[in-house]
């Protein structure tokens, strides 16, 4: 059994994020789903990003980092899109990380936006669509490929399509087939932790 700290995307802690977490729980794992927006959800990515901008990207990311202080060190950190920011920071900087699951987003491990090198012994899976204008178009796929090229236990999974939040069953961007495969891969990853 793995224990996961799962961070939501810019539209908030939606019913689709809850549904994903429940699928992971049904496979026998513990999943924590903190609400970094205090109950607020947004109809679009743009609205969510506007809210994040008002509060501050760093402030919201640090809310997520502080959540981990109340939990054991031996966690798998997971995040959907914006939620990758606190998840990846914790996976790379908090001692005891057991793994990372990065959905639709990825930060580089070198250069200006990096939290530093990837820590030894921390496995990672990165998932995105092969024609997602954000994941591919904004360069996150390049950061993912850098991790896969340099980290021993790192995997990048690309799914056919152009949706960003494809694993959120409460949104129009949902892709049931891609989500089923993603979920199976995630559960297999967690079963090895």
- Please report the pLDDT score of residue 40 as a whole number: 96
150: its two tokens:
């340099």
Q: Which residue has the higher pLDDT, 7 or 57?
A: 7
Tokens of 49: 């990003």
Dig out the tokens for 7 from the structure: 């961070």
| SS3 annotation, the chain | CCEEEEECECCECCHHHHHHHHHHHHCCCEEECCCCCCCCCCCCHHHHHHHHHHHCHHHHHHHHHHHHCCCCCCCEEEEEHHHHHHHHHHHHHCCCCCEEEEECCCCCCCCCCCCCCCCCCCEEEEEEECCCCCCCCCCHHHHHHHHHHHCCCEEEEEECCCCCCCCCCCCCCCCHHHHHHHHHHHHHHHHCC
Q: Provide the mean pLDDT of the chain.
A: 96
Q: What is the pLDDT of residue 172?
A: 97
CB burial of residue 145 (10 Å; 0-12, 13-18, 19+): middle
Considering only 68-77, 111-120, 136-145, which range has the smallest mean pLDDT? 111-120
- Please report the pLDDT score of residue 81 as a whole number: 97
Token pair for 192: 């090895």
Average pLDDT over residues 120-127: 97
The pTM for the full model equals 0.96
Confidence of residue 113 (pLDDT cuts 50, 70, 90): confident
Q: Is the pLDDT of residue 133 over 90?
A: yes
What does the pLDDT read at residue 65? Answer: 87
Of 12-21, 62-71, 98-107, where does mean pLDDT reach its minimum? Answer: 62-71
% of the chain exceeding 90 in pLDDT: 93
91 burial level (CB within 10 Å; 0-12, 13-18, 19+):
buried
pLDDT at 112 over 90: no
**Residue 164 has what pLDDT?**
97
* Segment 60-96, tens digit of pLDDT: 888 988 999 999 999 999 999 999 999 999 999 999 9
pLDDT exceeding 70 applies to what percent of the chain? Answer: 100
Q: Give me the pLDDT at residue 163, please.
A: 97
Q: CA-CA distance, 81 to 77, in Å (whole number)?
A: 13
Split at pLDDT 50, 70, 90, the class of 57 is confident
């Amino acid at each position: 059994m793995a224990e996961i700290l799962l961070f939501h995307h810019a539209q908030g802690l939606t019913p689709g994020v809850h549904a994903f977490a429940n699928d992971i729980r049904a496979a026998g794992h513990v999943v924590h789903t903190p609400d970094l927006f205090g109950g607020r959800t947004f109809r679009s990515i743009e609205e969510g990003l506007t809210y994040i901008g008002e509060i501050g990207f760093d402030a919201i990311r640090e809310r997520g980092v502080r959540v981990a202080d109340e939990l054991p060190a031996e966690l798998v950190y997971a995040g959907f899109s914006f939620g990758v920011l606190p998840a990846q920071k914790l996976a790379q900087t908090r001692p005891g990380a057991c793994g990372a699951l990065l959905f639709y987003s990825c930060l580089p491990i070198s250069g200006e936006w990096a939290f530093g090198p990837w820590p030894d012994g921390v496995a990672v899976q990165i998932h995105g669509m092969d024609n997602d204008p954000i994941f591919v178009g904004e360069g996150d796929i390049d950061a993912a490929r850098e991790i896969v090229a340099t980290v021993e236990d790192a995997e990048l999974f690309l799914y056919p399509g152009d949706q960003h939040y494809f694993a959120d069953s409460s949104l129009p961007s949902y892709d049931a087939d891609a989500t089923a495969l993603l979920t199976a891969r995630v559960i297999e990853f967690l079963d090895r932790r």
